[in-house]
């Protein structure tokens, strides 16, 4: 309040920060994230993410469903990589139960999971280009390859997205020879397709302008916030559970974990996902060659499935990062307590830091680059 004695120093043309409410119905927020942005012109000064629009009490439901029922439900936690949520829970339950998983089942798990990693990254690639404004054209090319994998999933699991394929103790179904040969054919042609994407995107001057030097994630900051997955590997932290804390048959497989040598920007996060897809393809190829014969489940898949009393934690490397599951079982047909560690939730927490002082056009470029799945955030 200016009194008579005070001098009015405000300029004639009053400028003010503008509060803009992005989402939850915004077309580009990948679902139902709400961001309250404080804008100075077009520059974002402050971001406040509002979570929980998609909260479905997945952990509570785990305590109120039998193991057998809950297995079918958890694919919905991260709908783009259902295999990994299934696998994390199955591994945690196996740690508690102490049951053996047959080797063939382990190979099948690795195979389908890496397929799932490819589908997840492919969808990310398409939607990311949409975030950058390539509304038509390129975004549909990844879907072409994704469709082939989804058909394979449909054949082996009966579902295209909510697989319910990896079960406690093993996997659900044995693949047919025809399925394996189809997958082999896919792995042979997939690298060419990735080259195709790179030819369109990686060299595109507008794409480079939009992504290089945008949203730089410092290594230390990322570690402080607990970022995992390709996003932090693109910033130079070598965390990949498949290597650093090996599980399943990963020690027997030959593959690279691409790690950046500097603080990564949006472009690095893109290029590291592309490299991961190539590696996943290599892993699938090896699994197809090494796949042994034998049982596919160490536990009988019946409605009255029980897990021995005890508690345990297991984590897998999902397309988005470390996906962990903590289980307390009292030996009954349902869990006593289940707690999830979701990579999307932890990765999203960095968003306000990354968005600071970027123009509003970069909001989606940065948000898309950390690859967040909203159901995975809210559970």
Partner 1 sequence: MRNGAEILKLGTLTITWWCIIFGAVWIACYLVGVALPMMLSSYDSDMARMTAETLKALTPILSVLVFIPINAMFMVLIERRALAIFTVRLGPNRVGPDGYLQTAADAVKLLFKEDITPHGADAFMFTLAPIVFFAPSIFGAMPLLAAVTNYHELFQIVNLPTGIFFILAASSVPVVGIVMGGWASNNKYSLVGGLRSAAQAISYEIPLVLSLVTICLLAGSLDVVQIAKQQSGGILNWNILGGGALRGLDAALALKFSNSAASLQQLSAMSPEQVIKSSYVEPTMAALGLAAGQESMATIIAVIAVLVLIGATFIAYGLYMTGACAEINRIPFDLPEAESELVSGYNTEYSGIKFAIFFLAEFTNLFIVASIAAVMFLGGGDCPVPAWLGNALGGPQLASVINQVLNPLIQIKLVDPPTLFAAIWVILKVYSIVFFAVLIRGTLPRFRIDQLMDFGWKRLIPLSLIVFLLVVFAREFVNVHVGS
Chain contacts with partner 1 (rule: CB under 8 A): 18, 20, 26-28, 42, 129-141, 144, 200, 204, 206-207, 209-210, 359-364
Least Å distance, CB 37 to partner 1, is 10
- Tell me the Cα Rg of the chain: 23
Least Å distance, CB 49 to partner 1, is 17
Contact of 71 with 50, CB cutoff 8 Å: no
For partner 1, which is the closer residue by CB, 5 or 357?
Answer: 357
Contact of 174 with 163, CB cutoff 8 Å: no
> From the CB of residue 83, how many other CB atoms can be counted at a distance below 10 Å?
30
Least Å distance, CB 118 to partner 1, is 18
For partner 1, which is the closer residue by CB, 27 or 251?
Answer: 27
Least Å distance, CB 274 to partner 1, is 16
Query: What's the rounded Cα separation, in Å, for the pair 378 and 37?
Result: 20
Contacts for 242 with CB less than 8 Å, ≥ 6 apart: 250, 255, 257, 317
For residue 333, the Cα-to-chain-centroid distance in whole angstroms is: 29
| Burial category of 168 from C-beta neighbours within 10 Å (exposed 0-12, middle 13-18, buried 19 and up) | buried
The token duo for 8 is 């009015």
For partner 1, which is the closer residue by CB, 29 or 113?
Answer: 29
For partner 1, which is the closer residue by CB, 88 or 363?
Answer: 363
Query: What's the rounded Cα separation, in Å, for the pair 338 and 62?
Result: 6
Least Å distance, CB 214 to partner 1, is 9
| Burial category of 295 from C-beta neighbours within 10 Å (exposed 0-12, middle 13-18, buried 19 and up) | middle
Least Å distance, CB 50 to partner 1, is 17
For partner 1, which is the closer residue by CB, 60 or 140?
Answer: 140
Least Å distance, CB 206 to partner 1, is 5
C-alpha angle 145/148/149, rounded to 5°?
95
Contact of 140 with 130, CB cutoff 8 Å: no
For partner 1, which is the closer residue by CB, 132 or 283?
Answer: 132
Least Å distance, CB 25 to partner 1, is 9
DSSP 8-class letter at 29: S
DSSP 8-class letter at 176: P
For partner 1, which is the closer residue by CB, 4 or 136?
Answer: 136
For partner 1, which is the closer residue by CB, 101 or 370?
Answer: 370
């Amino acid at each position: 309040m200016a009194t008579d004695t005070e001098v009015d120093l405000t300029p004639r043309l009053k400028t003010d920060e503008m509060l803009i409410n992005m989402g939850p119905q915004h077309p580009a927020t990948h679902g139902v994230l709400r961001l309250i942005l404080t804008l100075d012109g077009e520059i974002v000064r402050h971001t406040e993410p509002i979570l929980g629009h998609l909260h479905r009490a997945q952990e509570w439901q785990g305590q109120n469903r039998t193991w057998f029922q809950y297995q079918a439900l958890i694919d919905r936690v991260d709908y783009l990589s259902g295999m990994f949520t299934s696998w994390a829970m199955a591994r945690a339950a196996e740690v508690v139960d102490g049951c053996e998983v047959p080797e063939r089942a382990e190979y099948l798990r690795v195979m389908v999971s890496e397929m799932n990693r490819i589908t997840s990254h492919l969808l990310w690639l398409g939607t990311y280009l949409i975030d950058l404004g390539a509304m038509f054209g390129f975004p549909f090319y990844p879907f072409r390859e994704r469709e082939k994998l989804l058909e394979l999933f449909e054949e082996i699991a009966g579902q295209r997205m909510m697989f319910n394929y990896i079960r406690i103790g093993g996997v659900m179904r044995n693949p047919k020879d025809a399925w394996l040969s189809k997958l082999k054919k896919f792995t042979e042609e997939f690298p060419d397709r990735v080259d195709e994407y790179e030819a369109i995107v990686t060299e595109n001057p507008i794409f480079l302008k939009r992504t290089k030097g945008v949203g730089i994630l410092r290594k230390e900051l990322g570690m402080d916030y607990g970022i995992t997955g390709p996003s932090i590997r693109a910033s130079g932290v070598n965390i990949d559970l498949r290597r650093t804390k090996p599980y399943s048959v990963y020690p027997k497989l030959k593959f690279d974990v691409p790690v950046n040598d500097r603080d990564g920007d949006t472009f690095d996060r893109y290029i590291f996902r592309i490299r991961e897809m190539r590696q996943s393809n290599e892993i699938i190829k090896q699994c197809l060659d090494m796949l042994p014969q034998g049982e596919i489940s160490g536990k009988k898949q019946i409605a009255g499935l029980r897990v021995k009393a005890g508690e345990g934690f297991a984590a897998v490397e999902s397309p988005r990062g470390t996906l962990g599951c903590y289980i307390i079982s009292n030996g009954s047909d349902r869990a006593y307590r289940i707690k999830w560690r979701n990579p999307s939730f932890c990765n999203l927490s960095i968003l306000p830091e990354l968005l600071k002082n970027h123009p509003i056009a970069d909001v989606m470029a940065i948000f898309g680059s950390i690859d967040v799945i909203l159901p995975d955030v809210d559970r």
